[in-house]
Structure 1
Amino acid sequence: MTLASFDAVLFDMDGTLIDTESAYLEEWVRAAKLQGFEITQDLWHQMLGRPTIDCHQLVQDAFGVGFNMDVFATEYRSRLNDRLRDHVPVMPGVLNLLQDLKVQGTPLAVATSATRKSAEAYLSTAGLRDYFNHIITRDDVDQGKPHPEPFQKAAAALSVAPERCLAMEDTEAGIRSAHGAGTIPIMIPSLKQPANEIAELCHLICSDMQEVHEHLRPTL
C-alpha cells in the first residue's frame, strides 16, 4: 500500500516522536502506590493521548475522595522532570523521517496534549524542535484530544487543508482527533494495539516510524 501525495505532516509528540509514555506510566504508577492506590492497565489505556487535566479527573474518579491529587501530581512531576531533564529518547525511525521530510520542504507541525512548556522542553532536549514550523499544545486549544481541535489548529497553522495532511499518532484518542479533523490518520501504536473501531479510522497502521518511512518513500 502506498500513500497519495500530501502537502504537510502533523505529529503527535508523546509516544510518537519521543519515548516518554513509558516514563509517564512508571511515575504515575509509583506516585499512586505511595498513597496505596493502583493505576491499572485499563485506567492507563483510558488516559493515553488525553490532556493531563482529563487524566487527573479519570484518576480522581477512579480512586475517590481518599486520593490526594495535589500530592500525587507534585510527586510524579518531580520524578518526571528529573528523568527527562537531560535526556529525552527519540522513537525509532523518527529522525530519518524528519530529515527526509525537511529536505523536501514539507511543512511539519506538532499537535500534542502536553503543555507549551513541556512540549518545547522535551522537543528541544530530544534535538527535534527545529524540524517543526509550528507546535500546537494543550495551551492553544479549548478542547484537547480526542476532540478534533488540536489537529485542526495544526493544519491551519501550516495553511494546509486538513485533508492534505498526514497525521501521525500512537493512541486511540489521537486517532479520533486526527480523523475528526479530516486529516489522513496513520497509527503507530506504542503501548496499546487499536480496537477494531479505531483501526477502521486509520489510513495505515505501522509498527514503527521506520515502516511509515518506507510507505512514504515513493512520495519523497
Structure 2
Amino acid sequence: MTQAFKGVVFDLDGTLTDTEAQANHAAMAVLADMGVEGDMALFESLSGIHDIERRAILHRALAAQVDPDDFLLAWRARIDQQRANGVPTKPGAAALLQTLKDKGYLLALATSSYRTMALEKLAKAGLEGFFDVIVPVDDVQNPKPAPDPYLLAADRLGLKPVECVAFEDSETGAESAFTAGLFTVQIPDIHPASGKWANIVAPDLTEGAKAAGLI
C-alpha cells in the first residue's frame, strides 16, 4: 500500500472479540431450557445488527413461542455467566492493537453495542486502554449499515475518513465503513464476505493489517 493512513477504526463483536458465536450458542441453550427448539439461522442473521434492532427482530420472531422479554433476560444472564471469567478475543487482537499504538496510529472503536456493554466487554477481554475514541450505538442517530458510526469515529480522531482503515467482520459493518469512505478490511466471522463492501478480505486481523500496509 502506498497511501499513508493515520487512524484505524475497529468493530468490536466478531472482529476483536470472539463473542458472536458464543452469544448465539447461549441463545440456543436458553431456548432449549424454555422448551423451544431454536433456529440458529435466526441468531446468525443478527450479526452486525445493532442492539436496538436485534431486540425488535427477536420480539417479532419469538413472540409466538415464548415471552420475548423473559428470553432476553435469560439470554443476558447466560452470556454474563459465560463471560464471568473473561471475554474471548480473536487471534492476534491485543498484539495488533499494541503494535498499531506503538507505531503511532490513532485508534477508535465503532460498535453496535451500547457504551456500557462495550466498555464491559473491552475490560473483560483485556483490550481497554488502547482506544483514543469509542463510538457506541448510543452516540449515533443512524447505526450500521449507515456510515454515521465511522464518520463520527474519524471526526473524533480529527481525521478524514480516507486517512483511516476500518476492520469489520460483517456485511452490515463493512457497508458502514466502506460507504463512509474508510479503507475497509473485512475479516469474515459467521458469514462469508461478498467483497462488495471491502477493499481487502482477509483471513485474520494480522493478515488484514499486513495487506493494508499498517504493519
TM-score by length of 1: 0.90
The residue number in structure 1 matching 2:118 is 119
SS of the equivalent of 2:48 reads: coil
Matched residue pairs, number? 214
The residue number in structure 1 matching 2:168 is 169
1:52-131 equivalences under 5 Å are: 52-131=51-130
- Does the CA-based 8 Å contact 2:200-2:211 persist in structure 1? no
Can you list the C-alpha shifts for 1:50-102, whole angstroms capped at 9, x where unaligned? 11221122222233444311101100101111111321112101122111111
- Structure 2 residue 22 is matched with structure 1 residue 26: no
Measure the CA separation in 2 of the matches of 1:103 and 1:171. Answer: 28
- Does the CA-based 8 Å contact 2:11-2:168 persist in structure 1? yes
Deviation of 1:3 after TM superposition, in Å, equals 6.0
- Does the CA-based 8 Å contact 1:60-1:67 persist in structure 2? no
- Structure 2 residue 202 is matched with structure 1 residue 206: yes
Measure the CA separation in 1 of the matches of 2:111 and 2:52. Answer: 14
**Amino acid paired to 1:166:** V
Measure the CA separation in 1 of the matches of 2:214 and 2:61. Answer: 46
Deviation of 1:27 after TM superposition, in Å, equals 1.4
- Does the CA-based 8 Å contact 1:4-1:219 persist in structure 2? no
SS of the equivalent of 1:10 reads: strand
- Does the CA-based 8 Å contact 1:35-1:67 persist in structure 2? no
Kindly report the root-mean-square deviation, in angstroms, between the aligned alpha carbons of the 2 structures: 1.7
Gaps of 5+ in 2: none
**Amino acid paired to 1:189:** P
Cα pair distance change 1:39/1:3, threshold 3 Å: farther
Measure the CA separation in 2 of the matches of 1:83 and 1:150. Answer: 28
Deviation of 1:133 after TM superposition, in Å, equals 0.4
**Amino acid paired to 1:5:** A
**Amino acid paired to 2:7:** A
Cα pair distance change 1:64/1:106, threshold 3 Å: same
Deviation of 1:39 after TM superposition, in Å, equals 2.6
The residue number in structure 2 matching 1:36 is 36
SS of the equivalent of 2:191 reads: coil
Deviation of 1:211 after TM superposition, in Å, equals 1.0
- Does the CA-based 8 Å contact 1:170-1:190 persist in structure 2? yes
Can you list the C-alpha shifts for 1:150-176, whole angstroms capped at 9, x where unaligned? 111111110111111111000011011
Gaps of 5+ in 1: none
Q: Percent identity?
A: 31
TM-score by length of 2: 0.92
Can you list the C-alpha shifts for 1:111-149, whole angstroms capped at 9, x where unaligned? 001111111111112121111001111111122211111
**Amino acid paired to 2:172:** A
The residue number in structure 1 matching 2:135 is 136
The ranges of structure 1 where at least 4 consecutive aligned residues each deviate by more than 4 angstroms after the TM superposition are: none
Can you list the C-alpha shifts for 1:167-195, whole angstroms capped at 9, x where unaligned? 10000110111112111111000111023
